[in-house]
Amino acid sequence: MSASHASTAKKPATATNNLEPFWMPFSANRQFKQHPRMLVAAEGMHYTTDDGRKVLDATAGLWCCNLGHAHPKIVAAVQKQVQELDYAPAFQMGHPKAFELASRLALLMPGSLDHVFFTNSGSESVDTALKIALAYHNVRGQAGRTRLIGRERGYHGVGFGGISVGGLSNNRKFFGALLTGIDHLPHTHNLAENGYSKGLPKWGAHLADDLERIVALHGAETIAAVIVEPIAGSTGVLLPPQGYLKKLREICTKHDILLIFDEVITAFGRTGNAATAAEVFDVQPDIITMAKGLTAGTIPMGAVAVDKKIYDAFMKGPENAIELFHGYTYSGHPVAAAAGLAALDAYQDDNLFDRTRELEPYWQDAVHGLKGLPHIIDLRNIGLIGAIEMEGIPGKPTARAFEAFLKCFEKGLLIRTTGDTIALSPPLIISKQQIDEIFDTLSTVIKGLA
Ligand SMILES: Cc1ncc(COP(=O)(O)O)c(C=O)c1O
């Protein structure tokens, strides 16, 4: 056989724990494999590394472990569930905990968002929401509404739907033509107008008016939905200008366009004293996508909450016919549902959504206490979210923030960087002393950056 042909010959036995085969997601694989950063255990606010060091988690894993790590209620619920009912078919069959979780979520969601579709991730939640939006218009006789509108710098996961409405160039440009019929609103980030804002920035509500331009261009009768993150997270934490989301809502309502809030990182207490950013910002979307904090990161699970009018629109045909041709083998998986129920109990019993609101002023002071340190060009915050934007090294974008990430990790602090911005989103159980620890370490590290 010529060398260019793939071979199925058995590979020689090598070390059992070779770092090479795992193609790591959204990672610098070669850098990591030369300098691995391994986490082997976690409890409460801390990870433990393979060399036995404790690392303070300032990112709730990836914005998901809102309850900290190894919450006893979730651990017990998962252990019990896996023994009792490990799996149940998700199509044409049910198990009680999926219905119970949907009922609990329906109560937690704002307004008339009272039906829930389960997925396994944020990306699946987004693609599910977009498909539901398209199908909703279709089943009510408006099949011409096929256009979807996202926003520049938006992140909606990595499915083809999500990257099409998303607005991060690197996440799109390698992957072909993507979905057609997509437009993007302008992003809302403007340091000249809104630098060092505390909470929601004042300038920029008018940027929502761009939706009217898109409607005028294509005709409202061609547009199915607008999807935005209430707070754009992955692009470096961009907060919505005051009044911006309300304006989007008004324009969507005027033109019968569905408004989808992607709350994959903002739901479950991250922004304040309610489960969703929709409530905190007092804007009612038609669909909310969730994941992450739903099970506090313990078991993969996502969900899409839809307005009653959307669910009802599908419930019209013969009663024994499938209404929506969409779903996943693991939609509402019993172990994930058990983890979700336990997480909702824990949020409630420990009053964690209120706790975010209580800690917010302390957190805000800590974030803005970094003002004046070298390289910093903006600081912003809301709820238990903080962002430190640094000037990039000329010709080496992202290098300065990545250096900060590595140095923090050496000093026992896990942060997350995106571009040259450090994004902070600690578990909601964080103490004031741990907030101090985060900013002391950050201050030392930032002062020492090249
Ligand atoms: C707003 C938003 N949507 C979707 C996703 C994708 O979620 P997942 O990685 O679970 O697919 C993310 C992940 O960070 C997110 O922040």
Can you give the CATH number for the domain in which 406 is found? 3.90.1150.10
**Average pLDDT value for residue range 11-35:** 87
The ligand 1 atom at the shortest distance from the C-alpha of residue 289 is: 3
Helix (H) or strand (E) holding 356, with range, is helix 352-368
**Residue-level pLDDT at 9:** 75
Q: Is residue 1 part of a domain?
A: no
In this prediction, residue 14 carries a pLDDT of: 57
**In ligand 1, which atom is closest to the CA atom of 62?**
14
Residue-wise pLDDT tens digits, 319-369: 999 999 999 999 999 999 999 999 999 999 999 999 999 999 999 999 999
pLDDT-based confidence at residue 1 (cuts at 50, 70, 90): very low
Cα-only R_g, the chain = 22
Answer yes or no: do 207 and 315 share one domain: yes
Distances (CA, A) of 274 to 182, 200, 355, 428: 32, 17, 10, 13
Dihedral sign, CA of 85, 88, 92, 94? positive
Q: Report how far ligand 1's centroid is from the alpha carbon of 264 (Å).
A: 6
The pLDDT confidence band at residue 2, using thresholds 50, 70 and 90, is very low
Which of helix, strand or coil describes residue 393?
Answer: strand
Q: Is residue 217 part of a domain?
A: yes
The per-residue pLDDT for range 163-177, each reduced to its tens digit, is 999 999 999 999 999
Q: What is the DSSP string of 225-267?
A: EEEE-SSB-TTT-BPPPTTHHHHHHHHHHHTT-EEEEE-TTTT
Which of 294, 323, 349 is at the close of a domain? 349
Distances (CA, A) of 191 to 195, 235, 238, 337: 4, 15, 11, 42
* pLDDT of amino acid 124: 98
Shared-domain flag, residues 64 and 102 = no
Atom of ligand 1 nearest to the CA of 121: 10
Please identify, by atom number, the ligand 1 atom nearest to the C-alpha of residue 300.
10
Question: What was the pLDDT predicted at 288?
Answer: 98
Number of domains in the chain: 2
| 172 and 301 co-located in one domain | yes
Of the residues 349, 377, 393, the one at which a domain ends: 349
Residue 17 inside a domain? The answer is no
Q: Which of 229, 266, 288, 292 best tests ligand 1's pocket when mutated (most atoms within 8 Å of CB)?
A: 292
Strand 302-307 to 413-414 pairing: unpaired
Is residue 3's pLDDT more than 70? no
State residue 15's pLDDT score.
57
- Same-domain status, 144 and 210: yes
Q: What is the CATH number of the domain that holds 316?
A: 3.40.640.10
Question: What integer is the mean pLDDT of 80-97?
Answer: 98
What are the b/e assignments for 201-224, b being 16+ CB within 10 Å? beebbebbebbeebbeeeebeebb
Please compute the mean of the pLDDT values over residues 217-233 and round it to a whole number. 98
Residues written for the chain? 450
Banded model confidence at residue 8, pLDDT cuts 50, 70, 90: confident
The partner residues of 47 in beta bridges, in order of sequence, read 42, 55
In this structure, the answer to whether residues 277 and 417 fall within a common structural domain is: no
Answer yes or no: do 208 and 285 share one domain: yes
pLDDT of the residue at 191: 97
pLDDT band at 250 (very low <50, low <70, confident <90, very high): very high
* Ligand 1, pocket-test mutation among 27, 62, 119, 123, most atoms within 8 A of CB: 123
Query: With contact defined as beta carbons under 8 Å apart, do 375 and 402 qualify?
Result: no
In a domain, 3, yes or no: no
Does the residue 11 lie in any domain? no
CB 404 within 8 A of CB 415: yes
Instruction: Name which of 184, 146, 147 is nearest 165 in CA terms.
Output: 184
- Regarding whether 98 and 66 lie in a shared domain, the answer is no
In this prediction, what percent of the chain has a pLDDT beyond 90?
96
Look at residue 420 and give its three-state secondary structure: coil
Output the ligand 1 site: residues, CB below 6 A.
121-123, 126, 155-157, 229, 233-234, 262, 264-265, 291
> What is the distance in A from the centroid of ligand 1 to the CA of 277?
15
Q: What is the mean pLDDT of the chain?
A: 96
Calpha distance 358→373 (Å, rounded): 27
Q: Give the pLDDT mean for 252-268.
A: 98
- Say if 2 falls within a structural domain: no
Atom 13 of ligand 1 has which residue's CA nearest to it? 157
User: Ligand 1 centroid to 122 CA: how many Å?
Assistant: 4
pLDDT for 446: 98
Kindly tell me if the per-residue pLDDT of 402 is higher than 60. yes
344 and 423, same domain (yes or no): no
| Residue 5 within any structural domain of the chain | no
- The bridge status of strand 223-228 relative to strand 147-151 is parallel
Does a structural domain hold residue 14? Answer: no
Q: Which atom of ligand 1 is nearest to the CA of 125?
A: 4
User: Which residue's alpha carbon is nearest to atom 12 within ligand 1?
Assistant: 157
- Give φ, ψ of 413 to 5 degrees: -135, 125
Within 8 A by CB and 6+ apart from 249, the residues are 259, 283, 284, 285
pLDDT tens digits along 172-195: 999 999 999 999 999 999 999 999
Give the span between the Cα atoms of 416 and 155, in whole angstroms: 16
Write phi, then psi, for 319 (nearest 5 degrees): -70, -25
* Structural contact between residues 286 and 313, judged by C-beta atoms closer than 8 angstroms: no
Regarding whether 285 and 226 lie in a shared domain, the answer is yes
**CB atoms closer than 10 angstroms to residue 383:** 24
Q: Are residues 122 and 246 in the same domain?
A: yes
Structural domain that includes position 225 = 74-349
Pick the last residue of a domain from 315, 349, 383: 349
* Residue 225 pLDDT greater than 50, yes or no: yes
**Torsions phi, psi for 132 (to 5 deg):** -65, -40
Q: Between 14 and 118, where is the model more confident? A: 118
Residues 408 and 345 in one domain: no
In angstroms, what is the span from residue 262 Cα to ligand 1's centroid? 8
120, 126, 127, 151, best to mutate for ligand 1 pocket (most atoms within 8 Å of CB)? 126
C-alpha 166 – ligand 1 centre gap (Å): 11
pLDDT beyond 50 at 254: yes
What are the pLDDT digits (tens) for 123-175?
999 999 999 999 999 999 999 999 999 999 999 999 999 999 999 999 999 99
Are 362 and 245 in the same domain? no
pLDDT value of position 13: 60
